[in-house]
Structure 1
Amino acid sequence: MRALAPLTLVLSLTSQAQAHEFWISPQTYQVAPGGEIIAELRVGEKLKGAGFPYIPTRTARFEILQGDTRLDPQARIGDRPALQRVVETPGLAIVVHETADTFLKYPSWEKFEAFTSQKDFAWAQDMHRDRGLPEHGFSEVYRRYGKALVAVGDGAGADRPIGLDTEIVALANPYTDDLSGGLPVRVLHFGAPRSDVQVTLFARGADGTVSTSLHRTDGAGVAVLPMMAGTEYLVDSVILEPLEPAAEGDPVWYTLWASLTFRTPNE
């Protein structure tokens, strides 16, 4: 059982916010060299959600990676969109944002039950009761790890593990590779593949309609996701771990959220 680490950020939030995905939402996923990558940090459901400004105290990591090059996003406190950065070099850009830890309290058992059922953690309901924990008013800590793939110019290059505690790695380039057989992604936790876990795929077509589908990783932590041209995608995978509270009122669960966004070309 994970021991509670010091919290970087403590906020009072409802569990409704916890059930929402977090993702990096570029204004456009393909920009010319010398153009600007503009992206919101969003929280919501089914690719619909409010954008949040850049706040350093709520941010653990924020950068753009191109090959071996790391670009500072040059964000200033309060910027919205949070990312507005000119990128000169062509190639695949990996936009990375890791939040600080956030604290929340569940007002009811039904909220926890709905979240754990939706994210394939029904086992946590029995574990919670077996641990003798209360069914309302208990606390949780969560941290979010977002990545977005943006094509600068031709977008050539490859996604890769970048050292996040949990992350989703695209094993093909959605801008340059043949996706007729789907896009394979690998889900990692501290660099190790997560086998037999749920992956949620949100897809928004040109008409704005959003569909949702559930997938599972294989023994190598890989899930092959169906792809269509001209579609924006959000890939989501969550980890839930029990926490051993050091004092009354301390969080008893810890969740880690991984997301990956990209948009397939029209043709």
Structure 2
Amino acid sequence: MRILAIAFALTAALPVVPSQVLAHEFWIEPLSYQVQLDDMISGELTNGQEFAGAQLAYLPQRFERFTVAAGMRQGNVENRLGARPALDIAPLSEGLHVISYQSTLSTLTYTEWAKFLGFSEHKDFADIEAIHDARGLPREGFVEGYWRFSKTLVGVGNSIGRDFQTGLDIEFVALDNPYTDDLSNGLRVQLYYLDDVRGDAQVELFEKAPDGTVEITLHRTDAEGISTLPVKAGYSYLVDAVVLREPSAELAVEADIEWETLWAALTFGVPE
């Protein structure tokens, strides 16, 4: 059973997302997406929007797993309690490092129905109003529980390697290596949910330019859960997708929640 902890509260691009409907994402943002073998892999756990936010300390009570893998080697990300940056480890070997983070459960109470509808529309949850009412839920004072499932890709030395499924409930797998592959036709990501591909799902892409400006576009996965994302040399990226579901009866009682969301995030950079 998961440990519960209440923390602080076809691929085609669609129009840029208005900032007023953006939700709060959670991601791992390396200080450098490519390092040498004798360097440290360092990065911030960040909560915010528009690919900018507050950096969080290393607090084990806030996560269920925080791991790193490279080739055949893997281990836990360890740090001092309260340390920042939260990610600060020596590379396991030369090559692509896949770092995964799974949070404990956090909760959010909706006091305004319009905010829940706005969030649901932005994250592409169809017929949510009818589903909510059919469940007999109130339109204010109801609680959402949410989990964060975040990954980042860091290249060490030659950066050779492949991303893979790390076992998160929802996760992106990069089908191309952003540090070694030809990305002139875009970078492909595949979205998984409970070990199955998630087709026809909305994917939100946050593109950060070298000067820090961010552009946000919406994309979709095809029937195989794959979305090909346009990327540019010298830019960094956050890829986001969310599942909204009715919690199990056990979790609903244990955590006192009416809705459950699972957030997938993947970050990477593209070399110049």
**TM band (smaller chain):** over 0.9
- 1:84 paired residue number: 88
Residue of structure 1 aligned with 2:128, choices 124, 133, 145: 124
TM-score normalized by the length of structure 1: 0.92
- 3-state SS in 1 of match to 2:263: strand
Q: Which letter maps to 1:130?
A: A
- 3-state SS in 1 of match to 2:203: strand
The aligned runs of 1:66-81 (5 Å cut-off) are 66-81=70-85
Counterpart-to-counterpart distance in 2, 1:55 and 1:155? 29
- 1:197 paired residue number: 201
Give the C-alpha shift of residue 46 in structure 1.
1.2
Residue of structure 2 aligned with 1:250, choices 243, 249, 256: 256
Counterpart-to-counterpart distance in 2, 1:151 and 1:24? 14
- CA distance 1:71–1:242, change in 2 (3 Å): same
Give the C-alpha shift of residue 81 in structure 1.
0.8
- 1:160 paired residue number: 164
- 1:134 paired residue number: 138
Deviation readout 1:45-96 (Å, 9 max, x if unpaired): 1110000001111111101110121133221210111011111521000111
What is the Cα-based RMSD across aligned positions, in Å? 1.9
Instruction: Give % identity.
Output: 44
Deviation readout 1:146-166 (Å, 9 max, x if unpaired): 000000011000001111111
1:178 paired to 2:182: yes
Please tell me whether the aligned partners of residues 169 and 187 of structure 1 are also in contact (alpha carbons under 8 angstroms): yes
Please tell me whether the aligned partners of residues 70 and 92 of structure 2 are also in contact (alpha carbons under 8 angstroms): no
- CA distance 1:78–1:181, change in 2 (3 Å): same
Runs of 4+ in 1 over 3 A off after TM superposition: 244-249
Q: Which letter maps to 1:192?
A: D
Please tell me whether the aligned partners of residues 69 and 92 of structure 2 are also in contact (alpha carbons under 8 angstroms): no
- 2:5 paired residue number: 9
Give the C-alpha shift of residue 10 in structure 1.
2.2
Give the C-alpha shift of residue 6 in structure 1.
6.3
Give the C-alpha shift of residue 238 in structure 1.
0.5
1:112 paired to 2:112: no
Q: Which letter maps to 1:208?
A: G
Q: Which letter maps to 1:259?
A: A
- CA distance 1:11–1:39, change in 2 (3 Å): closer
Give the C-alpha shift of residue 173 in structure 1.
0.2
Please tell me whether the aligned partners of residues 66 and 91 of structure 1 are also in contact (alpha carbons under 8 angstroms): yes
1:259 paired to 2:265: yes
- 3-state SS in 2 of match to 1:110: helix
Counterpart-to-counterpart distance in 2, 1:125 and 1:111? 12
TM-score normalized by the length of structure 2: 0.91
- 1:43 paired residue number: 47
Shifted more, 125-134 versus 157-166: the winner is 125-134
Please tell me whether the aligned partners of residues 194 and 217 of structure 1 are also in contact (alpha carbons under 8 angstroms): yes
- CA distance 1:249–1:84, change in 2 (3 Å): closer
Counterpart-to-counterpart distance in 2, 1:86 and 1:248? 38
- 1:33 paired residue number: 37
Please tell me whether the aligned partners of residues 167 and 188 of structure 1 are also in contact (alpha carbons under 8 angstroms): yes
